[in-house]
Chain A
Amino acid sequence: MLKHYRVIDLTDEKGFLCGKILGDLGADVIKVEKPSGDPARRIGPFYNNTSDPEKSLHWFAFNSSKRGITLNLETGEGQEIFRKLSDGADVVIESFPPGYMQRLGLGYEALSVRNPRLIMTSITPFGQTGPYKDDKASDITLLAMSGLMRINGDSDKPPLRMCLDQSYYLASAHAAVGTFLAFHHRVTSGEGQHVDVSIYECAVRANYREPVRWEHEKALGHRMGNLFPWGRIPRRQLWPCKDGYVTWMIMPENPKATRAFIEWIEEEGKVGTWKGVKDDASLLKLTQDDLSSLEGMIGKFISTHTIEELETASVTKGLLLSPVNNVDGVAKDENLVSRGYWKEIEHPELGVAITYPGFTFLSDGVENRIRFRAPLIGEHNQEIYGEELGFTKEMISTLTKRGVI
């Protein structure tokens, strides 16, 4: 769909996903690495647990659908080559500290003089402006600042991070949105622009509830483990079952689901009957004691069933219960399989095909599929420098020897 767009991707792990999203949509994304390889190739997990820059599964996951070249931006020759690349590009995505690209003479202002249609998308911890713009940050420090960690975790434990690098992924998706908005602006105006994405602000936006509560109720949220914090009485939302966990909760707002659960329990008769009243009006007004007694019984009942039994019952009885899937549960989910979500991608140099998440949405118009595996270090140097920029073999070998590419 975006196949007529060329994107130069200079990001590190903070912004990998942005280029991948555009690459899956068909854009020709060229990942530019240092001649020694992108430092983010050190991030595991690794194929076969072998720590090797060409075996990082993290790299594979977020750099598929991109081609790859090596280029040393800190040399004059490297900068000149980069200018040529950006002259022929629609988008440059980068995640260097603010000011770094300017110091190399490759900032948006300089590049846009040569190519006014160029869009530059910058993904940085705090954005290009403001008192914190030069501060050092990482996913955990940004999630900490966003207020999300304070409300995540058990009440008797420290604030807890979310898994992997969620703030980077959020920012990368926001950056893809910003890049698209800049495309739209360019259609009518003919001009590119600078898109400035603050990872911190993306994380603050994900914390959609706490700032509102503070502003209007002067209330601060706390870590409540697996209690669901909203409503009159906090309710339990994680339940151990025979082979894992499921999530479910008593919802006074939806007495139908609660009633259906009680009826199922009583039908089986293994853990007794509930002594409370179960008409809609009474379920709407559960006291803390009612809730504890009901949750006790339901907990006992759930612990005698498997995820599969509970999930099946949820669909047929309308319980609104979901499995808390491990990755193997995710991999086996029959709905994902039936929609063709998983896609095998060949890795010839490893002699295997690895299964990847295949798309981010289904559409009957635009292409939106993972296309090919992430590039090896400098894999497309010959193709891009030689065939596309017209460098001779000698030039390429000299530039390689001098550490430029």
Chain B
Amino acid sequence: MPRFTVNGVEHDLDIEPDMPLLWALRDELGMTGTKFGCGIAACGACTVHVNGNAIRSCVTPVSAVEGQEVTTIEGLATAVAGTNTSSTGPDLSAVQQAWIDHQVPQCGYCQSGMIMAVSSLLAQNPNPTDAEIDANITNVCRCGSYPRVRRAIRALATA
């Protein structure tokens, strides 16, 4: 009976331990901000954070996150702001705001995963080189938002 927290809320789900985290989030908890794209960790649409690190939830069984802290796009702004803010939390993280400022999303379907991947990268490496961006952000965006993703990351890095 896997137990883990999602965006600060503890869940104790009566589900199979090998169920991918993606489907526990979407179909069991009704948290649909995390997207299904490929099911084999090839596109990154399902990216969430486990203890702050970006992982692909479509191939991560819930047993692997037992006792750990999962953050999804819905909880990103609060998680980034830390625990000392007001109970309502901020509306948007700096990455999310940059995504609006640079008008990054088009269809937007991949952007939950893209934002989670970029947030994790910038938390660990606030000023990544182009090569580091290329190596770390391997998410697929079928609309081709890549030039704007890079522009937004650059703006965040120099901010």
A binds B: no
Q: Which residues of chain B have a CB within 8 Å of any CB of chain A?
A: none
Q: Which residues of chain A have a CB within 8 Å of any CB of chain B?
A: none
